[in-house]
Amino acid sequence: MTQLILYNVFNGLIIGAFYALMALGLSLILNLSDVINFAHGGFLAVGAYLAYVLIPFIGFWGALVVAPILTAILGLLVERVLIRPLYGRDVLYSLLLTFGLAFMLQDGTRFIWGPQTLPFSVPDWLSTPLSSQFFFLTGYRLFMVLLVSVAVIAFFLILHYSRLGIRIRAGTQDLETVSALGVNVRALRSLNFGVGIYLAGLAGVLAAGMLGLQPTIGDNLIMPSFVAIIIGGLGSLPGTLVGGLLIGVASGVTSVFFPSASEAVIYIMMGIVLLIRPRGLFGEEGRF
Amino acid sequence: MAKLSPKLAFDAVVWLLLATMPFWLDRLGGYTQLGSQILVMALAAMALNFLLGYTGVLSFGHAAYFGLGAYGVGMTIKYLAGGTLSGLLVGVLVGAVAAAVIGLLIVHLRGIYFAMVTIAFGQVFYFIAFRWNTVTGGDDGLSGWHRLPIDLGFTSLDIVKSQTAFYYFVFVFFIIAVAIMAWLLRSPFGRTLLAIRENERRARFLGIPVDRHIWLSWLISCFFVSLAGGLYGLLNNFADPHALRWDQSGIFVIMAVLGGMRSFWGPLVGAAIYVVLQDYLSSLTQNWMSFIGLFFILIVLFFPRGVLGFVRRRLAS
């Protein structure tokens, strides 16, 4: 029993890490540009499929580096052509646009690669269990937790100490003033969007190694990412991280005792948080 | 007699077209069931627009209440041996109660936050329908039931076999719902909603309990969306978990925007265009989702005021 719970807590942490990685990207775009990017799951799938295509040529490690960058470039293009005209307009429009984009990305991947689950090979030494007692601790899972941790730490370091990161945080607080201080806000928003999509692409490559490759791979991750943002508090990136891990573990533990509620439980948590603390766990008061 | 205003003339034309739809739709290559579908979707989109267009609050989770209406009617007929009307009543009540409770949780939120929370809450019911296989049929949906004839006392109305009779059955509910919404929007309550849409802070300073009004508007909107959902269930003799999903919520919003969300009849126009287009595309290609997605993007970029908004501008200039 202890082992089962431990297994599910660990599993929940991994799933939570996915949610967090995806939600951080969403949150970044939401905070600076007021755009709810529905197509985030679609970009995640694009990242995964690009890796699938690249692996035969440059191997898993090469794909892990290159695929998210290519996804981010696609993201930059989309931002430039489709999303930029909508800044400053009602939230409704960017929401509908990315919604349509999500349809197109999902159907596009299905059209190109087919609806079936494709095999996605990770290096052999990563997929063997590390010990027989803790059978669930495959190298790949451990590696994923490690890589996500590194990515998240790097992300927060960049956000806090680099010039770009400081500008992004300042823009989140007051974009007008940042603009008045001579920062090119257009470029800032573009780069910010690119970083967000990069995180989605990275999550995609990692998720493909664990969950298998399907056109709907991002679909199942996007709603929990919204919940992670709401629980953590809109406008707070550390909150988003905590929210993602929290709901991952919660749904992992629930799946031990009451498997069929493992999805619903995160929405119940969201309801409770909204009831007690409407701005979310780490949200600033009065911002939303 | 006063001169016939263009607005009244337009109303008359809309009602006339709707009332005679089963007689001319076939000749244009449609079929009566498609007409019923347009009516149902139009009701849902108009109900959404009560909140979106007239109160200025964006909900991206209305499919939840639509789906609850469909499951409510299906389960009542299947498990409780209820009739068509009692099933519809249950469906609407279930949807409205869920909306009332969730509304209390979210009514303090605004703008982007409100939209996000409605999206997320919409998914709860999807997962319940999806996971609770034994009762809801899970991913396959709730089947094995169908709408029943309606006993009016002196005669019974056969809406089971005759698609035309069912069309008029839906039409009656459509008339009642639309009349109530139009009446509400003309009432002082409706004017207050407009005031909140235009300037919430000013409305608050005038002493209007804004949160309570938004909650009421949300509840009314969800009530009629549940009614549309119930009718949708009856139309297909089936309740589908995908009717509860966020895709469907987005489709309602695009219907309202496509037709023109600042016009009363806008969502009807949008729903008609969408339903016909989807019917046509899905018979043409398997990849209709891509085209629908592209359609969304084109509307947002080039046609954000919608059909009626566009027409109105043209007439004004």
Q: pLDDT tens digits for B109-123?
A: 888 888 888 988 888
Nearest to A134 by CA among A281, A284, A4, A275: A4
What residues of chain A have any CB closer than 8 angstroms to a CB in chain B?
Answer: 30, 34, 36, 38, 82, 85-86, 89-97, 99-104, 106-108, 110-111, 223, 226-227, 229-230, 234, 260-261, 263-264, 267-268, 270-271, 274-275, 278, 288
Cα dist. B177→A155, A244, B225, B306 in Å? 52, 42, 10, 23
Q: For chain B, give the number of residues.
A: 317
Tokens of B17: 């077209």
| Minimum distance, in Å, between the CA of residue B258 and any CA atom of chain A | 11
Q: pLDDT tens digits for A258-284?
A: 877 788 888 889 888 888 888 888 887
Q: Nearest chain A Cα to B292, which residue? A: A100
Radius of gyration for the alpha carbons in chain A, expressed in angstroms and rounded: 19
Nearest to A98 by CA among A161, A20, A30, A152: A30
Residue B298 lies in a domain: no
Residue B312 lies in a domain: no
- Residues of B in Cβ contact (< 8 Å) with A243: none
- CA A86: distance to chain centroid? 23
Q: Nearest chain A Cα to B255, which residue? A: A96
Residue A269 lies in a domain: no
- The count of C-alpha atoms lying within 13 angstroms of the C-alpha of B306, restricted to the half-sphere facing its C-beta, is 25
- Phi then psi for residue A132, to 5 deg, are -75, -25
State the total domains in chain A: 1
Distance CA A248, CA A202 (A): 18
Residue A129: strand pairing partners: A138
Decide if B252 touches A, using CB distance below 8 A: no
Average pLDDT value for residue range A33-58: 92
- Which H or E run includes B157? strand B156-157
Average pLDDT value for residue range A135-148: 77
Task: Give chain B's end-to-end CA distance (angstroms, integer).
Answer: 28
The three-class DSSP label of residue B239 is: strand
Which H, E and C letters describe A169-188, residue by residue? HHHHHCHHHHHHCCCCHHHH
- Which H or E run includes B229? helix B210-236
Provide the Cα torsion A103, A106, A109, A111; round to 10°: -60
| Minimum distance, in Å, between the CA of residue B126 and any CA atom of chain A | 9
Whole-number mean pLDDT of chain A? 87
- Residues of A in Cβ contact (< 8 Å) with B60: 95
State the total domains in chain B: 1
Q: Kindly report the number of other CB atoms within 10 A of residue B190's CB atom.
A: 18
Provide the whole-model pTM. 0.90
- CA B221: distance to chain centroid? 9
Asked if residue B234 lies in contact with residue B39, where contact means CB atoms within 8 angstroms, the answer is no
Residue A208 lies in a domain: yes
Distance CA A191, CA B111 (A): 25
Q: Kindly report the number of other CB atoms within 10 A of residue B209's CB atom.
A: 12
The contacts of residue B152 (CB under 8 Å, 6+ apart) are: none
pLDDT digits (tens), chain B, 317 positions = 456 677 888 888 889 999 888 888 888 878 888 999 999 999 999 999 999 999 999 999 999 999 999 999 999 988 887 888 888 999 999 999 999 999 998 898 888 888 888 988 888 888 888 888 778 877 778 887 888 877 776 777 777 778 888 899 999 999 999 999 999 999 999 999 999 999 999 999 999 999 999 999 999 999 999 999 999 999 998 888 888 888 899 999 999 999 998 899 999 999 999 999 998 888 888 888 888 899 999 999 998 888 888 888 888 87
- The count of C-alpha atoms lying within 13 angstroms of the C-alpha of B58, restricted to the half-sphere facing its C-beta, is 22
Backbone CA torsion sign across B113, A253, A44, A191: positive
Residue A272 lies in a domain: no
Nearest by CB to B294, which of A104, A271, A278? A104
Cα dist. B110→A207, A223, B59 in Å? 33, 20, 10
Decide if B135 touches A, using CB distance below 8 A: no
| Minimum distance, in Å, between the CA of residue A50 and any CA atom of chain B | 19
Please name the residues between 210 and 239 in chain B that touch chain A, using a CB distance below 8 Å: none
Residue B183 lies in a domain: yes
CB contact under 8 A, A270 and B120: yes
The three-class DSSP label of residue B137 is: coil
Residue B157: strand pairing partners: B150
CB contact under 8 A, A270 and B117: yes
Decide if B268 touches A, using CB distance below 8 A: no
Decide if B58 touches A, using CB distance below 8 A: yes
Helices and strands of chain A, counted as H and E runs = 11, 0
Mutation for A interface: B109, B116, B246, most A CBs within 10 A: B116
Query: Angle, nearest 10°, between helix axes B246-259 and B32-52?
Result: 80
Count contacts between A and B (CB, < 8 Å). Answer: 127
Position A136 confidence tier, pLDDT thresholds 50, 70, 90 = low
Query: Angle, nearest 10°, between helix axes A237-257 and A219-232?
Result: 120
Distance CA A238, CA A159 (A): 11
CB contact under 8 A, A96 and B299: yes
Residue B134 lies in a domain: yes
Residue B53 lies in a domain: yes
| Minimum distance, in Å, between the CA of residue A93 and any CA atom of chain B | 6
Angle CA(A218)–CA(B256)–CA(B227) in degrees, nearest 5? 90
**Residue type present at position A144:** M
Residue A5 lies in a domain: no
Nearest by CB to B132, which of A93, A110, A260? A260
pLDDT for A80? 94
pLDDT for A132? 60
pLDDT for A131? 62
Residue B16 lies in a domain: no
pLDDT for B125? 86
The contacts of residue A78 (CB under 8 Å, 6+ apart) are: A39, A101
B161-188 burial code (b ≥16 CB/10 A, e <16): eebebbbbbbbebbeebbeebeebbeee
Distance CA A172, CA B59 (A): 24
CB contact under 8 A, A229 and B299: no
| Minimum distance, in Å, between the CA of residue A288 and any CA atom of chain B | 7
A4-22 burial code (b ≥16 CB/10 A, e <16): eeebbebbbbbbbbbbbbb
Tokens of B185: 């929007």
> What is the complex's ipTM, to 2 decimals?
0.86
- Phi then psi for residue A214, to 5 deg, are -140, 155
pLDDT for A133? 60
Tokens of B229: 């959902």
Cα dist. A140→A72, A151, A154, A211 in Å? 24, 16, 20, 12
Mutation for A interface: B55, B254, B289, most A CBs within 10 A: B289
The domain of A119 spans 21-218
Average pLDDT value for residue range A224-240: 90
- CA B240: distance to chain centroid? 16
Q: Nearest chain B Cα to A286, which residue? A: B109
Nearest by CB to B112, which of A91, A96, A110? A91
Residue B20 lies in a domain: no
The domain of B181 spans 32-245
Nearest by CB to B113, which of A90, A260, A288? A288
| Minimum distance, in Å, between the CA of residue A78 and any CA atom of chain B | 12
Cα dist. A83→A86, A113, B52, B155, B252 in Å? 5, 27, 22, 58, 22
pLDDT for A218? 84
Decide if B281 touches A, using CB distance below 8 A: no
| Minimum distance, in Å, between the CA of residue A197 and any CA atom of chain B | 19
Nearest to A90 by CA among A51, A46, A36, A14: A36
